[in-house]
Amino acid sequence: MINDTFSKGLNKVIELGGVPIRVLYLKQTIGSVWDDEVSLSQSGAVIWTSGLVLPLSNKWGSTDSLLMEQGKLNNSDRKLYVNGSLLITGSELQVKIMIGSNTIGTQYSIIPDGIIMFEVAGQPIYKKVFLRRLTGSILGEA
C-alpha cells in the first residue's frame, strides 16, 4: 500500500519536471575464439518513457560528490531518475539512453556500476542512473 503511494509520488514528479527519454537495448555477444571479442546489437523494442534529468550535486558528502572525488564521475555527467520497474540492467544487456526528442536528443551511456535502486518493502520505487554523454557509439556496437 505504501509502495503505491511512493510510486505515484515519483510518477507525479516525473510528469511535472521530466523529459522524454528513449531506451535502446543492446545485447552483448562474446566471440567464440577470444574472450575480448565483444559485439553489441540491438535487442528488442525501443522504449519511450519519461525521466527526471538533473546535473550532479557538488554538495559535500553527497553521493555525487563522493563519486566525483573517487574519479568515477565527471562534472559533465548527469543523473537520471526513472521508475524502478524500468529494465536497464542485465548480465548480457547494455543500454543507450537518449534524452530529448527523437530528432534533437542527446545520447548517453550508463556509467559502470552507475545505477542505484531505491526500494520500499522489497518493491522497486525508482532508480538513480548516472549517465555519460556519448560522442560516438558504445565500444563493440554494430
Does residue 128 fall inside a structural domain? yes
**If you count them, how many residues does the chain have?**
142
Average pLDDT over residues 98-113: 83
Average pLDDT over residues 109-134: 87
Cell of 50: 519519461
pTM of the model: 0.82
* DSSP secondary structure letters along 33-87: S-TT-EEEEE-S--EEEEEEEEEPP--TTSHHHHHHHTTSS-TT-EEEEEETTS-
Does residue 139 fall inside a structural domain? no
Does residue 74 fall inside a structural domain? yes
Digit-coded pLDDT (tens) for 27-83: 777 666 666 666 666 677 788 888 999 889 888 888 888 888 888 999 889 999 998
Specify the amino acid at residue 50. Answer: S
Does residue 17 fall inside a structural domain? yes
User: How many domains are contained in the chain?
Assistant: 1
Digit-coded pLDDT (tens) for 13-29: 888 888 899 888 877 77
Does residue 115 fall inside a structural domain? yes
Domain range enclosing 98: 2-133
Does residue 22 fall inside a structural domain? yes
Does residue 66 fall inside a structural domain? yes
pLDDT > 60? residue 138: no
3-state secondary structure at position 99 = strand
Does residue 140 fall inside a structural domain? no
The mean predicted confidence, pLDDT, of the chain is 80
Tell me if 68 sits within 8 A of 56, measured CB to CB. Answer: yes
CATH of the domain at 14: 2.40.10
Q: What percent of the chain has pLDDT over 90?
A: 10
pLDDT > 90? residue 130: yes
Q: What percent of the chain has pLDDT over 70?
A: 80
Phi-psi category of 140—alpha, beta or left, where left has phi over 0 and alpha has psi -120 to 50?
left
